[in-house]
A and B are shown apart, each in its own frame.
Chain A
Amino acid sequence: MSTPAAEVGTTLPPLTVRLTRETLVRYAGASGDFNPIHYSDHAATGLGLPGVVAHGMLTMGLAARAVTGWAGPGARLVSYGVRFTRPVPVPDDGVGAELQVAGTVTAVDADTLTVTLDVTCAGEKVLGAAKVVLAGAAA
């Protein structure tokens, strides 16, 4: 299976992901990123954050699901880059935070396809310049 037929302007199915403290703990263990701002309110507020925030790499990884789920296993990842423009606070309130991920194909050429992601939390953009370039995709 390869990437669905796509042209500039094609939109990907949107993705909504909920994050709780459990999500952060699991990601810390799986990734080996034990920066305490991702599990300790004391450490996070000491840096001027409102409280524990998600790992930027977790947000980046979750956002990528919108592309990998759409592209399928036939597509090969060439590059994936983001700027972390705002932290994603994840309060320990039984609700956590919700990420909304939207993707649009913004470039297609003979070999590659570029998807630009729009990733927001509570209406605020949390990733900037988020672009995934895929190869082996059927344009």
Chain B
Amino acid sequence: MPITPDHAGKAYAPTAPYEVTRGKVAEFAAALGAPLVEGGGPVVAPPTFGAVVTGPAWDVLFTDPELDLQLRRVVHADQQFRYHRPLEPGDVVTATLSIAKVRVRGTTEIITTSVEVRDAVEQTVLVADATFVHSREVGA
């Protein structure tokens, strides 16, 4: 059965704890062409680093057999990060995804999701809201 509007409200278990490291933040910053400056004070992850910790939760969505989605047929329509505090090296976080809304227009499925990222003491670090558009393969 493919995804339907009835999947709105479906919530997934938190992802395995992920430790933010200075090395990963540095790799991510360098991939955006803005390497960390040595000795430049405390390391704060780039604004979109939230995608690194949110990614595993998105993967759970894209591989949920109940929804029957194919990652290669998914495009990102919108994204918002709301930070309660900066993500920093040493943070150990989990990401919990829920499906907020599903709209189906023919073979196009529009999936609105929210991921809450919490630290080791269960405080919210950030919330990442995203809309994905999945083009279902006809006849698949």
A→B interface (CB under 8 Å)? 17, 23, 26-27, 29-33, 35-37, 43, 46-47, 55-58, 60-62, 64-65, 67-69, 73, 76-84, 87, 129, 132
Considering the complex, give the chain A residue whose CB is closest to the CB of B32: A61
A61 and B73 contact, CB distance less than 8 A: no
In the bound complex, residues from chain A placing their C-beta under 8 Å from that of B82 are 78-79
Tell me, in angstroms, the Cα distance from A62 to B31 when the chains sit together: 9
B→A interface (CB under 8 Å)? 24, 27-28, 30-34, 40-42, 44, 46-48, 51-52, 55-56, 71-83, 86, 129, 135
In the bound complex, residues from chain B placing their C-beta under 8 Å from that of A69 are 34
Tell me, in angstroms, the Cα distance from A66 to B47 when the chains sit together: 11
| Distance in Å: Cβ of A50 to nearest Cβ of chain B | 14
In the bound complex, residues from chain A placing their C-beta under 8 Å from that of B86 are 76-77
A132 and B76 contact, CB distance less than 8 A: no
Tell me, in angstroms, the Cα distance from A26 to B34 when the chains sit together: 13
In the bound complex, residues from chain B placing their C-beta under 8 Å from that of A56 are 75-76, 79
B74 and A35 contact, CB distance less than 8 A: yes
In the bound complex, residues from chain A placing their C-beta under 8 Å from that of B42 are 73
B79 and A84 contact, CB distance less than 8 A: yes
22 cross-chain CB contacts under 8 A? A23-B31, A26-B30, A29-B31, A31-B31, A35-B74, A37-B72, A47-B73, A47-B75, A56-B79, A57-B79, A60-B48, A61-B46, A61-B51, A62-B33, A64-B48, A73-B44, A77-B81, A77-B86, A78-B83, A79-B82, A80-B47, A84-B77
